[in-house]
Amino acid sequence: MIERAEHRLRLLARRYIFVPPLIPYILPFIPHRGLIVDLGAGYGTVAIMLAKQRPGCQFIAVDLDKTRLRIARRLVSPLDNISLLRCDMMSQDFRDVSVFLLIDSIGYLSPPKQTELLIRCRRSLLPGGYLIIKTNDHRPAWKYRFALLEEKVLSGRRMFYPDSAWLTGKLLETGYNISAIHR
């Protein structure tokens, strides 16, 4: 049984409403073989959906929240190409990564930590690898304020969603080529 109403609501929303529309945008960037690391994976819904589509890839879903990972463990049990790792997304040095996923997770880090994470991911990516980021922008303002309020109410955490101009500058500064998909 899912431990709290917050987790039940968030898991259902991600599994059936928010994540499925993202998969067609992400899947073309996921190779058929390679290491895919989902940083701040939460319940693992993105990694699980992608792992089903790419059985030749090895997925690592990283999250600090033990309750979310306990729930994720139940969801990944039929899959043998996904591992769950409980740690801070900044604490591991991965090597030879084909794709890093930061789906609604970069905002948990302060701006200096976001920059550090971008650098660390860049160093760990294979040539031709991808860093896929999905985050809330500051526009429209109502949506941004709602996202901040939602996270504060549900988890008590302060979020640091990067402005798209700031994030674009940091990505260029740290050596990434950028393709933006807005939906």
Query: Which tens digit of pLDDT belongs to each residue from 35-80?
Result: 999 999 998 999 999 999 999 999 999 999 999 899 899 889 889 9
Q: CA-to-CA distance for 3 and 8, rounded, in angstroms?
A: 8
Q: Is residue 179 part of a domain?
A: no
**What total of structural domains would you count in the chain?**
1
CATH code: domain of residue 147: 3.40.50.150
* Start-end of H helices in the chain: 5-13, 23-26, 45-53, 66-76, 111-124, 141-155, 164-173
Q: Is residue 182 part of a domain?
A: no
Q: Is residue 178 part of a domain?
A: no
- Tens-place pLDDT, residues 98-118: 999 999 999 999 999 999 999
Q: Residue 55 is part of which domain span?
A: 5-173
Q: Is residue 160 part of a domain?
A: yes
Residue 38 forms beta bridges with which residues? Answer: 61, 101
Token look-up 């709602």 returns: 146
